[in-house]
Amino acid sequence: MFIDKREEILIKTRRNIFGQNVGGNPSLFSGNGLDFKELREYDVGDDVRKINWKVTAKAGRPFVNLFNEERELNIVVAFMVSGSIYFGTRRFKQELMAEILALLSYSTLKNDDRLSTLFFSDREEFFMPPTKKMGSLHITLEKALGLDPLEKVSDFNALVHYVNERIKRRSLIFVVSDFYGDVDLSLLNKHEVFGIMVRDRFEEEPKLFGEMDLIDPTTMHNEAFMLSPKIMQSYRKALEAHDEKLFEHFAQHRIKHTKIYTDEEPFIKLSSLFRH
């Protein structure tokens, strides 16, 4: 069943990437240099993709961005595995995360950059070493859709230790997760880190009242609860406090981030993230 879903995501990914990007660089991001150096006036033969449109508009003549060095990007997509991703009202968070993985991976490979893919819970679940082969996307997408996340929990401290031990080259690291629990990515500071938060709206505004049997997907522990409006309000406040602390952490350590709900199109949110 997930094979059909894999092909559906791949077709949708190609359509989004090529439909929204013109020219010879079908990608969400460009791999030409990470370190900005200076501006100079456009000269015949310069790459038009390097035109700084804001400065050009103000000056009335074209300017291009120069970088300290031209180099390919090393991109790591970290797919965080936890029982909590096995949930969704419109579609499971796991499926949305798979589509995000496909978009980031396809864009990387079409841009001829190096892609590593990591599935991580509190340990390595699967690792695809750096590659430029498009066939790797079929393998990792199948893994993303077919894995069983139940009874697993995301450990971000273990992730940071693993990445610092395994990924020696400075990289763009995309952490794709619902970001529950304790999150500290500050020690990934030699890399450029992006947080891609995946949520279902029902998690943040649950409509549950009365006696309910609830299952913790990270432990599969089942327990009956009597849910009152007061309890649900306390739950929402606790989640808001958790997320506020998380966003402060992102801001403090210059971690670019976005939140994508299961009823949204991830390409739109990711494009907006990279434009800013």
Q: Report the 10 Å Cβ neighbour count for 88.
A: 20
Q: What is the CATH number of the domain that holds 260?
A: 3.40.50.410
Question: In this structure, how many other beta carbons lie within 10 angstroms of the beta carbon of residue 243?
Answer: 16
The answer to whether residue 47 is domain-embedded is: yes
Residue 25 included in any domain: no
The mean per-residue pLDDT over the stretch 205-227 comes to: 86
Read off the pLDDT of each residue in 192-213 and give the average, rounded to a whole number. Answer: 92
Same domain? For 113 and 194 the reply is yes
Domain that holds residue 197: 2-14+71-275
Residues 185 and 48 in one domain: no
Question: Which tens digits make up the pLDDT trace of 98-157?
Answer: 999 999 999 999 888 999 999 999 999 999 999 999 999 999 999 999 999 999 999 999
Residues 48 and 150 occupy one common structural domain: no
Provide the pLDDT confidence category of residue 174 given band limits of 50, 70 and 90.
Answer: very high
Q: The pTM is what?
A: 0.81
Residues 53 and 77 in one domain: no
Residue 20 belongs to a domain: no
> pLDDT digit string (tens) for 235-262?
999 999 999 999 999 999 999 999 999 9
132-163 in b/e form (b: 16+ CB < 10 A) is eeeebbbebbebbbebebeebbbbbeebbebb
Task: Identify whether 237 is part of a domain.
Answer: yes
Residue 241 forms part of a structural domain = yes
Q: Which two tokens stand for residue 10?
A: 């791949």
Instruction: Give me the pLDDT at residue 13, please.
Output: 81
Domain total in the chain: 2
Give the SS3 label for residue 213.
strand
Q: Residue 16 corresponds to which tokens in the numbers above? A: 């989004």
* pLDDT the model gives residue 3: 53
Which of the two residues, 221 and 45, has the higher pLDDT score? Answer: 221
Residues 186/114/1/91 CA torsion (nearest 10 deg): 40
What does the pLDDT read at residue 36?
59
Whether 23 maps to a domain, the answer reads no
Residues 77 and 190 occupy one common structural domain = yes
Quick check: helix, strand or coil at residue 74?
Answer: strand
Amino acid at 178: D
Q: Please report whether residue 22 resides in a domain.
A: no
Q: What is the mean pLDDT of the chain?
A: 88
Selected residue with higher pLDDT from 269 and 46: 269
**Same domain for 201 and 65:** no
Cα separations in angstroms, 94 against 87, 130, 188, 197: 8, 23, 25, 12
Residue type, 76: V
Cβ-based neighbours of 269, under 8 Å, separated by 6 or more: 258, 259, 260
Place of tokens 């900005």: 36
pLDDT (0 to 100) of residue 236: 95
Quick one: 59 and 190 in the same domain?
no
Residues 134 and 177 in one domain: yes
Cβ–Cβ < 8 Å for 228, 204: no
Q: Residue 136: inside a domain, yes or no?
A: yes
Question: Is residue 28 scored above 70 in pLDDT?
Answer: no
Is the same domain home to 259 and 247?
yes
pLDDT digits (tens, 9 = 90+) for 48-75: 778 888 889 988 999 888 765 556 789 9
Whether residue 59 is found in the same domain as residue 93: no
183 and 65 co-located in one domain:
no
**Beta strand 210-216 pairing with 221-227:** antiparallel
Which has more pLDDT, 276 or 145?
145
Considering the domain architecture, whether residues 146 and 120 belong to the same structural domain is answered as yes
Q: Residue 35: what pLDDT?
A: 56
